Amino acid sequence: MGDTVTLPLRLLPDLRPRVWGGSRLRDALRPELAAEPIGEAWVAWDGCRVANGPEAGRTLAEVVADDPVGVLGPDGAAASDGRFPVLVKILDTAAWLSLQVHPDDAMAARLEGPGAVGKTESWYVLAADPGAELILGLVPGMTDAGALAAIRDGTLHEHARRVGVHPGDVVLVRAGTLHSIGPGILLYELQQSSDLTYRVSDWGRPATEGRRLHLEQSVASLLPRATTVPRATRLEPDDRLTAIACEKFVGDLVAVRSEPAALDTAGRSFHVVTVVEGSVVVACAGGSEAVGLFESVIVPAAAGGYAIRPAGASARAVVARVP
């Protein structure tokens, strides 16, 4: 510990029960758990524990604190603000998430205090039942004043814009955009390192201490004209494409079958490799690590060039980094 880390760091997923959760994450990652609905697997964040090598048992935050530039790279360290710069999740929905909005960085600091950061997020849809929907913004014609009044009187859901969604769709949801995810969807989420969520409506579910509404914060954070649309992607075997890109993070889709995918951190930013189909082996000069479905490895910036190869017939992964 204290030496520059060049081994891929496999992280232990952190499973989160949610009232809207399904069974796919539990079945894939922790089948021994009781039949509790698991909505989220946090597969790369500060609190994840390392599963392999000399750093095994430590949190990602502890490893980064020993060598911020070696692990994060200069670009990652500049974006870190004292925390790992991104949060990667897998979501499995059996019911609608709350109707919600996230603040931007400035509004987060104003509402929550210094050090709080906002939340822009992105989704890559892995599976979707026929007829599955997202909410992305408000219907055309809704005025700013009308939107803010509807938050306070509990009717904003009547003006929400519903959009059909399909496997392979990618969505960038900027801070300030009203949104929700409907039932029957499995997706990869890449976001700022924040879990700051303001609930506008929870579809009549009973309020609890952990699931309160945040009406005044929602009024302050909502950009009533903000919207977005799903963008279809098509990933062929042994293909790679940048599907997610904004000023906060970048996500590359990688498919491997007959040829390993060669990637390089160039010493600038960590890479988070998350397997979304099959399983892979991630290999670099510092060593190699097998990575299963819905697991992530951190390739430290100092590792440089590395390869992703399928452990079976084929596999898909998302590789996250800072721009």
Q: Name the catalytic one among 199, 240, 316, 321.
A: 199
Kindly give, in sequence order, each residue whose CB lies less than 8 Å from that of residue 5, ignoring residues fewer than 6 positions away.
55, 63, 67, 70, 71, 286, 300, 302
Quick one: which of 31, 195, 29 has its CA closest to 121?
Answer: 195
Contact 134, 171 (CB under 8 A): yes
Going 196 to 199 to 204 to 207, the CA torsion angle's sign is positive
Separation between Cα atoms, residue 244 and residue 276, nearest integer Å: 15
In b/e form, how buried is each residue of 197-230, taking b as 16+ CB within 10 angstroms? ebbbbbeeeeeeeeeebbbebbbebbbbebbbeb
Asked if 199 is an active-site residue, the reply is: yes
Contact 225, 206 (CB under 8 A): no
Q: Kindly state the helix (H) or strand (E) to which residue 220 belongs, with its residue range.
A: helix 215-221
Contact 70, 174 (CB under 8 A): no
For residue 133 the two structure tokens come to 């929907």
Quick one: which of 293, 290, 279 has its CA closest to 28?
Answer: 293
Could you tell me the end-to-end alpha-carbon distance of the chain, in angstroms, rounded to an integer? 28
Interior CA angle at 311 toward 126 and 262, to 5°?
80
For residue 92 the two structure tokens come to 């499995």
For 66-90, the DSSP string reads H-HHHHHHHHHHHHHTTS-SEEEEE
Q: Catalytic amino acids?
A: 199
